[in-house]
Chain A
Amino acid sequence: MSRFSEFLNKLSDHASKQCIDGDDGSHTYVQLIEAVAAWSTHFDELDVAAGTVVGVRSDYSLQAIAAVLALLVRKAVVAMIPRDRDVSTYLKDAHAAAVLEFSASGKYEWRRIPHATSHVLIEKLRSQGDGGIILFTSGSSGRPKAALQGLERFLYKLRNPGRPYRTLAFMLFDHIGGLDIAFHTLAAGGTLILTRRRDPEAVLELIERYRVEALPTSPSFLRLVCATPINVQHDTSTLKVISYSSEPMDPSTLVRLSERFPNARITQKYGTTETGSPRSISRPDDSLWLKFKEGVETKIIDGVLWIRTECAILGYLNATSPVDEDGWYCTGDQVDVDGEWIRVRGRVSDTINVGGEKASPTEIEQVILEQDFVRAVIVFGEKHPLMGQVVAAEISVAPDFDTKDAAARVRRHCRQRLAPHKIPVRILFTDQDLTSARQKLQRRGVQGG
């Protein structure tokens, strides 16, 4: 039996349990299965054949999830189209032959795309009779890459889906983290809590109202939660697990989180589009360290993590393959190693070279975050005629915060904790949010001096 058939059987087993709650109303697994059947009939009428690439552009909803599942039932390839950029470029890069777009009101539009081209990797999937998923990388270092994943490979990690939690669908539907959470929650028989609101105030209110047990999110968002003053006290005691991925976490935020959510276990996930979010566990006493579960091989070359896993993507549709001929993927993440545990320090590509001395933005950010008035910080390299690069920092503070002495405080603190070349020479303050729609820090490349 295929992994996808097993997954569908699990949905049937959960029958009358609640699968969706939140802003989109309450629905059971039976209702989800009925919606999948209705979409299957509709796709028959629309003549959607196996192997057809269909772009889906939507936030989470019962209908959007059902449509994605119905497309996968017929072994189509679903391209999850982000909603933040020009749709036509994404559709072209995905080789999409049609697009299904849901509006916030739940209405949908189906559109065929004439003259869609194919790609050798998609042809390979078709010949294997497997469905597929296309996810776009965030594109922080250039054009977003269209990463193709085979459906059976994607489902590899769902063999033991874990406990059925009431999980807030915080990560976006088009993001590996979001899609992964949706499949995990459904496979386990949990409930996905859907929301259109993703600000700290709203999330705290949702935890109380829908008795949320699991909050999968990003370090940037959790920092924002810790920095948000408590105006209304919400009961968040139902929260059992807070998981974070996408970026390195800092110890100060972990301390603040455990004070604010004393009942919740805090864990780290290692999620990249390319490695398909392989399963991992966090060290019980310190979630900054993690190790991968079975099915994942790792090696460290020059301090950089390489991964070989069955969950890895088949390749990019608009760039050369990131996986070498032996199946290894260079993550680009600089890591510390302690036996079988690893700790992510940051991206190699973000490393700042100050007159030949290396400075990791993550390390510097973690030190700056120890100051309680700092809501978020991005450290980046700035070009310098003598040093090559120097360290600069942009710090987000509350709108009414007096920044007069703040730079001096940050410099004084950095001087105590960091080598001289790591102390920011330029410090900028903003009251703006520094995160993207995907709740990640919007990193800059090296800036002109």
Chain B
Amino acid sequence: MNADQGSIAAMNAGQNELVTPTEQKVAMLWSEVLQIPLPRAEDDFIELGGDSMTLVMTEYRIMEDFSIQLRAGAMLEARTVRALAQLIDAEQRKSAESSAPASADFG
């Protein structure tokens, strides 16, 4: 499922449900780091009790679990599960494109 399909699925499913696999993984991660029940898609990290330390911890975990690079503090601008999942998907697409073989450009 790509990001657009994910957004459409999200609209169909109702705004606050976890839809894409990335959203589900992010929600499980927040639940573990913040020691809370599974959050919903539009829940805000800070409002759930996140602070600077848990934010940094979560960013490190995302970089490790999804094999991507995140700018320090990126989560301050992607504070909901859904926004963060979209950011992760975008970063994963970027790194897949940059590592694709050169011949693909002529495909």
Residues of A within 8 A of B (CB): 354-355, 384-387, 390, 407, 415, 420-421, 423, 425-426, 449
Contacts and interface: CB of A to CB of B under 8 A. Distances in A.
B56 interface: yes
Contacts of B52: 355, 386-387
B73 interface: yes
Contacts of A384: 56, 72
A337 B44 CA distance: 45
Nearest first, the 4 closest Cβ-Cβ pairs linking A and B are A425-B60, A385-B72, A420-B53, A425-B57
A376 to B, nearest CB: 22
Contacts, number: 30
Contact of A426 (B53, B60, B72): B60
21 contacts: A354-B53, A355-B53, A384-B56, A385-B72, A386-B52, A386-B72, A386-B73, A387-B53, A387-B56, A390-B56, A390-B60, A415-B35, A420-B53, A420-B54, A420-B57, A425-B56, A425-B57, A425-B61, A426-B60, A426-B64, A449-B72
Interface in B30-59: 35, 52-54, 56-57
A421 B57 CA distance: 9
Contact of B73 (A385, A415, A425, A426): A385
B57 A423 contact: yes
A318 B49 CA distance: 53
Q: Is the interface of B mostly helix, strand, loop or mixed?
A: helix
Interface residues of B, number: 11
Nearest to B52: A355
A409 to B, nearest CB: 13
A180 B72 CA distance: 49
A386 B57 contact: no
A380 to B, nearest CB: 15
Contacts of B53: 354-355, 387, 420-421
Given A384-B72, A425-B60, 4 more contacts: A385-B73, A420-B54, A423-B57, A426-B64
A65 B28 CA distance: 63
Contacts of B73: 385-386
A420 B50 CA distance: 11
Contacts of A415: 35
A30 to B, nearest CB: 64
A354 B60 CA distance: 15
A386 B76 CA distance: 11
Contacts of A354: 53
A415 B31 CA distance: 14
Contacts of B60: 390, 425-426
Contacts of B54: 420
Among B35, B53, B54, the one with the most A-chain Cβ atoms within 10 Å of its Cβ is B53
A421 B56 CA distance: 10
Contacts of A449: 72
Interface in B50-89: 52-54, 56-57, 60-61, 64, 72-73
A315 B57 CA distance: 45
A182 B80 CA distance: 65
